[in-house]
């Protein structure tokens, strides 16, 4: 049992170090690069996540590029990183959105619309609403609704080809970009996996497959990649990979986590470390089963959380321009006060920049 506790603490400490939760990263671009993008399903997730990790957010709306990456999720990324990150689906015309649209309306139709969208953008059309108006006279209403869906539609396909991205981190409009992948999936995979294990490790190959949205067929290729330059840790019958570092620091007593924080959503659910109730104590991170429904909603939204000694213990947010802190169980007054002070700090530091 003591060996199990030691292994869990080692995994948690290293993950928090890699994800800049027990140290600081002052530069936003460096943070996004090392974490392979910052999740931005909601725009404010990026400044929240950055401030929690010590990064300066001045000008953040244009310093990162908002686009669709792994598993169809929106991320704020360093523009120069896009060709490599998008190469995970390089040249792909069988992505989820393209395949769905093609089955519904025909591949030729979707390709024709995609080409026309690019031509119109070159002429200065950037709004989804304007595209819907233009195409309403050419196609059936259902085609227009699907192609220009608020969930992405054809723009996901174009974004994953490196052709378009959101105008800025909070804009609903799009711009043309030139970030087409120049390498294949097989060429970029080993390097991206090593970057993942350096930031998110210790993690398993299943975790990496989940993070990048790699298919079961392609996931088998991961086992053929030599990771001799990485350290290995065996726990619970699984092999965890990570990059060794000299000082991983301690797990903080209080940690704010952003909505869709990497520490919560970047590991395969089956591999999450969730301790039995009798062992939930000390410096450990977990998302207890009884709290999952409160943290990850049925809609898929992952709320901002508070970790106490590395374990998720409550929620925080900013509502109606006021800090909100809610613990699942009573906490010492100093913990409550410290958490509230941190949320208040984020409130004041994000005023005028969101």
The predicted-structure confidence for 218-227, as pLDDT tens digits, reads as follows 777 788 888 9
Asked whether residue 204 is assigned to any structural domain, the reply reads no
Q: Which of 160, 192, 207 is the last residue of a domain?
A: 160
User: In Å, what is the CA distance from 318 to each residue of 64, 311, 344?
Assistant: 23, 21, 9
Q: Which of 116, 143, 160 is the last residue of a domain?
A: 160
Q: What is the pLDDT of residues 30-72, one digit of tens each?
A: 999 999 999 998 889 999 999 999 999 999 999 999 999 988 8
Asked whether residue 46 is assigned to any structural domain, the reply reads no
Asked whether residue 287 is assigned to any structural domain, the reply reads yes
Asked whether residue 103 is assigned to any structural domain, the reply reads yes
Asked whether residue 247 is assigned to any structural domain, the reply reads no
- Between CA 212 and CA 222 the distance in angstroms is 12
Asked whether residue 310 is assigned to any structural domain, the reply reads yes
pLDDT, mean of residues 281-291: 57
Q: What is the pLDDT of residues 206-254, one digit of tens each?
A: 889 889 988 777 777 788 888 999 999 888 888 999 999 888 889 999 9
Q: What is the pLDDT of residues 64-89, one digit of tens each?
A: 999 999 888 899 999 999 999 999 87
Asked whether residue 97 is assigned to any structural domain, the reply reads yes
Expressed as residue numbers, the domain containing 296 is: 254-350
Number of domains in the chain: 2
């Amino acid at each position: 049992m003591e060996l199990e506790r030691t292994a869990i603490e080692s995994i948690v400490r290293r993950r928090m170090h890699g994800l800049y939760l027990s140290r600081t990263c002052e530069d936003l671009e460096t943070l996004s690069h090392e974490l392979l993008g910052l999740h931005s399903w909601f725009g404010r997730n990026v400044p929240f996540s950055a401030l929690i990790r010590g990064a300066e957010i001045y000008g953040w709306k244009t310093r990162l590029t908002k686009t669709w990456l792994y598993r169809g999720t929106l991320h704020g990324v360093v523009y120069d990183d896009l060709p490599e990150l998008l190469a995970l689906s390089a040249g792909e015309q069988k992505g989820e959105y393209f395949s769905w649209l093609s089955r519904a309306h025909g591949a030729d139709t979707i390709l024709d619309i995609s080409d026309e969208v690019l031509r119109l953008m070159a002429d200065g059309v950037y709004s989804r609403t304007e595209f819907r108006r233009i195409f309403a006279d050419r196609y059936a209403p259902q085609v227009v609704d699907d192609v220009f869906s608020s969930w992405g539609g054809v723009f996901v396909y174009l974004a994953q080809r490196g052709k378009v991205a959101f105008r800025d981190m909070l804009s609903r409009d799009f711009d043309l970009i030139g970030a087409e992948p120049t390498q294949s999936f097989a060429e970029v995979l080993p390097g991206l996996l090593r970057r993942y294990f350096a930031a998110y490790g210790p993690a398993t190959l299943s975790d990496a497959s989940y993070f990048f949205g790699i298919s079961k067929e392609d996931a088998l290729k991961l086992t053929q990649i030599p990771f001799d330059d990485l350290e290995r840790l065996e726990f619970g019958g699984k092999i965890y990979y990570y990059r060794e570092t000299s000082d991983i620091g301690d797990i903080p007593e209080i940690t704010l986590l952003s909505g869709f924080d990497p520490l919560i959503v970047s590991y395969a659910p089956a591999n999450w470390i969730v301790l039995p109730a009798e062992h939930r104590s000390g410096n450990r991170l977990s998302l207890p089963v009884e709290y999952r429904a409160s943290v990850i909603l049925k809609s898929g939204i992952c709320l901002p959380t508070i970790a106490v000694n590395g374990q998720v213990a409550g929620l925080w947010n900013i509502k109606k321009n006021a800090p909100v802190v809610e613990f699942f169980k009573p906490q010492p007054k100093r913990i409550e006060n410290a958490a509230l002070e941190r949320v208040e700090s984020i409130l004041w530091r994000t005023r005028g920049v969101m």
